[in-house]
Every structure is written in C-alpha cells, then in structure tokens.
Structure 1
Amino acid sequence: MSKVLYKLLIGGVLASSFVASASWAADTIKIGEVNSYKAMSAFLGPYKKGWEMGLDEINSQGGVLGKNLEVIYRDDNANPGDAIRVAEELRTREKVSMIFGGFLSHTGLALTDYAKRRKMIYLAAEPLTDKIVWENGNDYTFRLRPSTYMQVAMLIPDAVKLNKKRWGLVYPNYEYGQSAVATFMQLLSKAQPGVEFVVEQATPLGKIDAGSVVQALDDAKPDAIFNVLFGADLGKFVREGNTRGLFAGKEVFSLLTGEPEYLDPMGAEAPEGWYVTGYPWNKIDTPEHNAFKTAYEAKYGEYPRAGSIVGYTSIKTIAALIKKAGSTDTDDLIKAFSGLSHNTPFGPITYRSQDNQSTFGAFVGQTALVDGKGEMVNFRYVDGADVQPSDEEVAAMRPAN
C-alpha cells in the first residue's frame, strides 16, 4: 500500500470517528452534578440511585427535545472550595448546560454564589439553608427540597398544642443547624408568647460529645427538646439520651429524624414518640408514590429512602425545565423555571417566582418502634406552599439581582 493511499485511509477513518463523536455529542444534553458522596453516603447513595433511575426513564422515553440527557457527576468532599472547583471543571471542560446537587448547606451556598458569578443555572437538590433562596438568593439558583424555615414551620402547630414552656435546643454548629434553631425560636415565640429557651447545645458537625450534651440538657430540666442533629451525631445523641433517661417525660421535636437514612441505623434504639419530619416510605398509599416505589424496588432490590425521592425528583425537574424552555440557553431556562410545575412521587409541585423555591413538601408525624425498628406513625403530608412566609417578607429578605 502506498504512503499516499495509507494517509488517505487513515484520514478518512479519523474524520469518520470525529463526525460520529460530534454527532453523539450533538444528540446529548450534558448536566453537571456536584455532591458529597463520600462524606454523606447514607443519604447520597440512595440519592444517586434516584436520579439514575429518573435519567433512565427520561432517556427511554426519547429524552428531552429529541436528545438524551447525560449527567456528569463530581464529589465535592463536603468542602465549599472543592465544590466550586469541580463546578468550574464541569462548566469549562465538560460544557454542561447547568448543574444540580449539593447536600450540606455551606457547599450549597458556595454553589449558589458560583451560579451567580458564572451566570449558570444551579438546582439545589438537598441543601436546606434559607439563605439559598432568600438572603443569598439570585436569578440563577433554584431549590427543590423544603427549606429549613419550611420544615420547622411544619412542626410548630404540634409544639404549640403541647404548650411546653421550657425548651432545650441541640444542633450542629454550622449554617443549617444555626438557622433551624433561630427559626424555631422565632416561630414558637410568636405562636406561644412567654416560652423560654433554657439551654442550648451547639455541637461540632460530625464530632458530638454526646455525654456532655445530654448532661447539659438534663441539668437544665427542660420540658421539651428541639433537636437538629442528623447522621452519626443523631445516633450517638439518641443512644446516650436513652441510657441516661433524658427523654423520659419530655417531648422531643426533631428535623429529618423520620427519614429512613437516620432511623434505620439506630435499629431498636430508635426513639419513640418524637415529633419529626421524614419519609414513611412503606405507608404512603398514593398512585404516584406506589408507581415510584414499585419501579425503584424492581430496579435496585431495596426500598427507597428520602434521598431516592430527592434525586429522582431533581432530574425530573431538569427534564421538565428543558422541555418547557425549548432549549438549554440560560436565559430561556430562567424564564421557564418561573412557575414551572410537574408531577413527583409526592404529587405536583411548582417553583415559585417569588424566590425560586419549590412547593415540594414533607411528611410530619411521630416515631415508633415497629418490629424492633424505627418508623413514622400518625403522619400527614404538608404541602410546601402552606408553610411559606408572606410575599412581602420574602421580598424584604431577597436581594435585588
């Protein structure tokens, strides 16, 4: 074979490969995802399975705008600096159209600021701090899960009914815990004038000294406790509190504790009678949830967790958004996000134009031991639209962009 013919053949193969690659890329919409997979695996393992299942469903039904969605994900090591670094890599190297994800509030706030600076859409899937859509809110950042304010507001009616005067507070000492306690104090004091907060325990995230925390709470003799701990910190607190009898005769209100990610590891040590927000996965009987649960169990051979719902709903939001926008242009996506509505395993949700917060809700109930395992009982679903401050209050908190 002559050198000239060889070069022509090689050139043709390379050209064909380039065309095929370009054609594949043109048929794919790339979405970036950033999260703390290694640090928060109990929640984010099921979360990833959730968005992967949703992605498979979307693409098996023809994708969006005639193209498949592709998710390229990165781990942020639960560090705000790393979150920004990998987000920039996704934007510049992978050329993603938008990003979603986040778990911890401080990484979520970093991505919120990044979205504003780079003029790029960010859907905060899990971070709960109110600042994401209020004080630090911007035109490019939207949030799925009910915020700290919303979840606290869901618990207030039950707290008021019990009419307990002396309260103890325990929370992880970072943005999420701080804002949750501040909101609880504000809303309860408004609804029940004269309430007292007699002890406050702010613990390092992931490094609780459960013995000293329980002792401080017990010494103060509160009538009730508001808890914001989660993960391993929650388990240690519950174990020590059970051992020392802290919870006997006291009402306990606790954010997120009804989620199986946090109840399951405690096994028979799970608390009983706590008022919680959470996800009673095995007791919800609606067509939307039954369809999701059946598909999830068939795909993974396990029951869904709260993270599964969040991941699944996040990617469904993105598909609905791009379909409504008719493009992946950022300005078009911003316009489409205002008032965007779509169905979820919990029913329909809408993204509010006031603050880019969705009306996705949560379940409120009590914990109980059932067959040696913690579950939610006496629960109800609270629509996120019903636990929002007024539009005037939101406007006062949200900066002009």
Structure 2
Amino acid sequence: MLNRRTLIKSSLVLGASQVIGAPFVVKSLADEPVKIGMVNPLTGVLAALAQSEVDGAKYAEAEINKKGGILGRQVQLLIEDSANDVGTGVQKTRKLIDRDNVAVILGDVNSGIAYAMSQVTNEKKIFHIVPGGHTDPITGTNCKWNVFRICNTTSMDANAVTPELVKKFGKKWFFITPDYAYGHSLQDAFVKALTKAGGTYEGDMLPINATDFSATLIKAKAFKPNVLLNNMGGLTQINCMKQFTQFGMQKDMALGGALFELETVKALQPEAQAGWWDMEWWWNQPNVPEVVKFVADYRAATKKTPSARDWFGYVSMHSVRLAAEKAKSLEGPKLAMAMEDMELPPDVALQAGKVRYRAGDHELMPSIFVGEVHPPKAGPDDVFTIAEAVPGDTAAGPVADTGCKMTHPA
C-alpha cells in the first residue's frame, strides 16, 4: 500500500526528472506487497496456541505467494507480540496500521486484547479478522462492520458439548474458569445450557496465569460433581490438569469442557489425556480428501500436525485473499461487504459441509467436532476421536439472539 510520504517522494522525483530531462522510474503499486499485520501473545501462558496460529498464517502466506499473491501483489505477513497484555496489543496494532501501513489486521488469541484491537481497527476503517479470540461480544453485542471471526463463540462451544456431557455423566458440574473476558463469557454460556437441562453447579474464577490450583481442586472434590470443567487455557490448563491427576481426582469425576486443544493435550501425561470436549477443527478426517492432502502437505513443510489453531491462521490469510478477489480492492468497507455470507472453498474450509461467514454477525459457521480425548492411539497426534460434528448454525442459534446490531459506514 502506498502511503502519503511515498506518493510525495514519487512526485518530487517526477518533477526533477522533467526539469533535467533525465530518465526515471516510478515504483508501481504492483511492486508494493500487500501487508497483513498479525498481533498475538507469542510470550506468556497462551504462547503455544498463538504460535500455531502464526504457523498456519505463514504457511498460507507462502502458498498464496506461490500462486501469484493477492490482486497480483505478493503478500507480506508482519507479526507482533502482544505479550498477553491489552495495552501492548493496542500499541502494536496502531504501529502496524500507522507505521507499517498494513491493509488488514489479524488477532488476538486473548479475547480481551482482540476486543481492544477491534476498537482501533474500527476507528481506522481497517479490515480485521479475529482468528482465535472466543468471547461472545466480539460478534455479539460489540460486533463491528469491519470485524470477522474464525473460531467459535463461547456459546457455540458450550451449546455443542453440553448435551453430550449431561447424557454421559450427569448434571452436577464444577467449573474452573479464567477470570477474564473469555472465561466469563464461556462460563455464562455453560451455565445457561446446564440450567436449561436442569443442572446444578459450583466453581471458581482464577487468574489467567494461575499456577496453584490446590485450594480450588479441594473445593471441587468436596462438591462431588459428575463433571469437572477445566475452562483454563494454554499453560494454565496444563498446570491445572497436572494437579488434578496428582490429586487422583480422575477416579472421582469425569473431565470435560469447551476446549482441550491439541497443543495442550500433547503436553500432558496419559492419565490427564481424557474427557469429552470440543475441537474447533480436527486433522483426522479421512473421508475428506482436501483435509488428507492439507495435513500431508503441512506436515511435510512444517514437521508438525496442524491443530485448530494452525487452521485458524491458515483460514485467516486465505479469507483475506478470497475477499480481496471478490471486492477487487483492499479497502476495509469493500472487503467487509465481500466477506458477508462468503462460503469458503473446500480446500480452505477443510471439512465436510458448507462453511460461511454469517452476514448478520460476521461469525464463521464451521462444524464443531465433539468427542473424546484419550492417550495416543495410531500416532502421537491421534489423541481425539470425533463422536459428532455439530453444525455451526445449530450451535450458534439465530443472529437475533447474539445481540449484534451491525452498522456499516455510509
């Protein structure tokens, strides 16, 4: 994207050349890369999840550039570390827009940071995709014309897995939940779904970077729930799971919840690889040829099996490409209009069925894979077996229930 300074400089060169009759070359727009900025917590308790999103985005960047880029221009992905801090995330977002002249912003894993970033991108009229920040208001009560999301809302995840947990284990639950936007939104969604099913609950809200879970686990054991829902994320979820198994609590209650991601499952001992959870995308879909090819190619290029987080980053980049091709522009308002109700092609959706960005709230509607986490079977990454693929529209419910009232710029 050419900025004002570049245009002024080009004009001065043109004027001087006309005076002295010297030959000149003005750099064309086609020589300028399409810059996409990504802000994610590459340090801190969510770093492993953030890194996978970056890996997926980088893989897509190389794939897109190999096929001619976006609108005939090469793509340049610029990555900044939010350090899991709202102020830093906002600062890095402004830097990418004002100094680096990015056309698009991606991020953040932390829902609170993603929301703060969206206020900046909306003010600047910059197209913004949230790959992996889940809290409902981002595409609900705080929805914005320029913001789209790939991961599920917390309500979608809770609605998908609750019936399975109730059916298998019972209606008495204990929550261990992080005390920030994501945790509050997720627990509220679970409580709503559980109460509707006639259940009861107790729980604790803990800091996002908590390390000692002993007091909460003692409280959970005394409550004698059917299911313990570990809603923590990243490193804190790992630490909580380790202490849960050290206390021998897996003999007393079932495990379950919204997200127990591949990165987290693989970091734990076999006895903690258990329970019924959601996967927002899963690599082992043998009946979908596009998935089989993608996983093989991704493993060959990156030496790792893609997780849902890798898929989030991958879909983010290709969504920008698809929207730009449809809009024939990189202007925020035009990209947003192009993305509404846009269906992802099979080699980007990487699952069976129709996957689209819902126009009313800008939420992606993929399948949610509900199933059982277990120790590795056929290989080190074979730690989850799908029981049911819940359609995104079914889990999300109608747009009217989200509280989103979308207003586009004049």
- The answer for the alignment partner of 2:200 in structure 1 is 196
**Take 1:80 and 1:115, find their aligned partners in 2: how far apart are those partners?**
14
* 1:226-274 deviation digits (Å, cap 9, x = unpaired): 22012222222222222222232423222211x21000010324233x1
Aligned match of 2:192 in 182, 186, 189?
A: 186
Q: Does 1:128 align with 2:130?
A: no
**Take 1:18 and 1:202, find their aligned partners in 2: how far apart are those partners?**
64
- The answer for the alignment partner of 1:212 in structure 2 is 215
* Structure 2 letter corresponding to 1:375: V
**Take 1:97 and 1:245, find their aligned partners in 2: how far apart are those partners?**
51
- The answer for the alignment partner of 2:8 in structure 1 is none
CA contact 2:48–2:263 (8 Å) conserved in 1: yes
CA contact 2:204–2:216 (8 Å) conserved in 1: yes
Q: Say which SS state the counterpart of residue 366 (structure 2) adopts.
A: coil
Q: Would the alpha carbon gap of residues 87 and 18 (structure 1) be closer, same or farther in structure 2, given more than 3 Å must change?
A: farther
**Take 1:399 and 1:302, find their aligned partners in 2: how far apart are those partners?**
39
Aligned match of 1:165 in 171, 192, 198?
A: 171
Q: Would the alpha carbon gap of residues 378 and 310 (structure 1) be closer, same or farther in structure 2, given more than 3 Å must change?
A: closer
- The answer for the alignment partner of 1:244 in structure 2 is 247
* 1:328-382 deviation digits (Å, cap 9, x = unpaired): 1222112112111212223542111110111123321011123596711243333
- The answer for the alignment partner of 1:4 in structure 2 is none
**Take 2:43 and 2:24, find their aligned partners in 1: how far apart are those partners?**
36
* Structure 1 letter corresponding to 2:351: F
Q: How far did residue 16 of structure 1 move?
A: 11
**Take 1:392 and 1:48, find their aligned partners in 2: how far apart are those partners?**
33
- The answer for the alignment partner of 2:396 in structure 1 is 388
Please identify which structure carries the higher strand content. Answer: 1
CA contact 1:128–1:145 (8 Å) conserved in 2: yes
Q: Say which SS state the counterpart of residue 79 (structure 2) adopts.
A: strand
Q: Say which SS state the counterpart of residue 349 (structure 1) adopts.
A: coil
Q: Say which SS state the counterpart of residue 358 (structure 2) adopts.
A: coil
Aligned match of 2:33 in 28, 33, 41?
A: 28
CA contact 1:277–1:362 (8 Å) conserved in 2: yes
Query: Which aligned pairs between 1:270-289 and structure 2 lie closer than 5 A?
Result: 270-272=272-274, 274-278=275-279, 279-282=281-284, 284-289=286-291
- Count of residues in Structure 1 that have an aligned counterpart in Structure 2: 382
Q: How far did residue 28 of structure 1 move?
A: 2.1
TM-score (norm 1): 0.88
* Structure 1 letter corresponding to 2:376: V
Q: Would the alpha carbon gap of residues 208 and 387 (structure 1) be closer, same or farther in structure 2, given more than 3 Å must change?
A: same
Q: Would the alpha carbon gap of residues 150 and 242 (structure 1) be closer, same or farther in structure 2, given more than 3 Å must change?
A: same
**Take 1:64 and 1:116, find their aligned partners in 2: how far apart are those partners?**
23
**Take 2:371 and 2:67, find their aligned partners in 1: how far apart are those partners?**
37
Q: How far did residue 18 of structure 1 move?
A: 8.8
What 5-or-longer segments of structure 2 have no aligned partner? 1-15
CA contact 1:203–1:209 (8 Å) conserved in 2: no
* Structure 1 letter corresponding to 2:42: Y
**Take 2:121 and 2:387, find their aligned partners in 1: how far apart are those partners?**
37
CA contact 2:34–2:73 (8 Å) conserved in 1: yes
**Take 1:135 and 1:200, find their aligned partners in 2: how far apart are those partners?**
26
* 1:20-75 deviation digits (Å, cap 9, x = unpaired): 7x337644222221111122331222222211111111111112222222222211
**Take 1:148 and 1:17, find their aligned partners in 2: how far apart are those partners?**
60
- The answer for the alignment partner of 1:349 in structure 2 is 355
- The answer for the alignment partner of 1:139 in structure 2 is 145
Q: Does 1:80 align with 2:105?
A: no
Aligned match of 2:328 in 307, 315, 326?
A: 326
- The answer for the alignment partner of 2:231 in structure 1 is 228
Query: Which aligned pairs between 1:6-155 and structure 2 lie closer than 5 A?
Result: 19=25, 22-23=27-28, 26-39=31-44, 40-155=46-161
**Take 1:393 and 1:302, find their aligned partners in 2: how far apart are those partners?**
39
- The answer for the alignment partner of 1:266 in structure 2 is 268
**Take 2:210 and 2:171, find their aligned partners in 1: how far apart are those partners?**
30
CA contact 2:70–2:324 (8 Å) conserved in 1: yes
**Take 2:143 and 2:394, find their aligned partners in 1: how far apart are those partners?**
21
CA contact 2:61–2:317 (8 Å) conserved in 1: yes
Deviates more, 1:156-165 or 1:287-296: 156-165
**Take 1:284 and 1:65, find their aligned partners in 2: how far apart are those partners?**
34
Q: Does 1:307 align with 2:315?
A: no
Q: Say which SS state the counterpart of residue 114 (structure 1) adopts.
A: helix
* Structure 1 letter corresponding to 2:200: E
Q: How far did residue 97 of structure 1 move?
A: 1.2
Percent identity of the aligned residues? 23
Deviates more, 1:178-187 or 1:85-94: 85-94
* Structure 2 letter corresponding to 1:376: F
- The answer for the alignment partner of 2:297 in structure 1 is 295
Q: How far did residue 106 of structure 1 move?
A: 0.8
Give the CA RMSD over aligned residues.
2.4
Q: Say which SS state the counterpart of residue 128 (structure 1) adopts.
A: coil
What 5-or-longer segments of structure 1 have no aligned partner? 1-10
Q: Does 1:376 align with 2:376?
A: no
Q: Say which SS state the counterpart of residue 341 (structure 1) adopts.
A: coil
Q: Would the alpha carbon gap of residues 17 and 75 (structure 1) be closer, same or farther in structure 2, given more than 3 Å must change?
A: farther
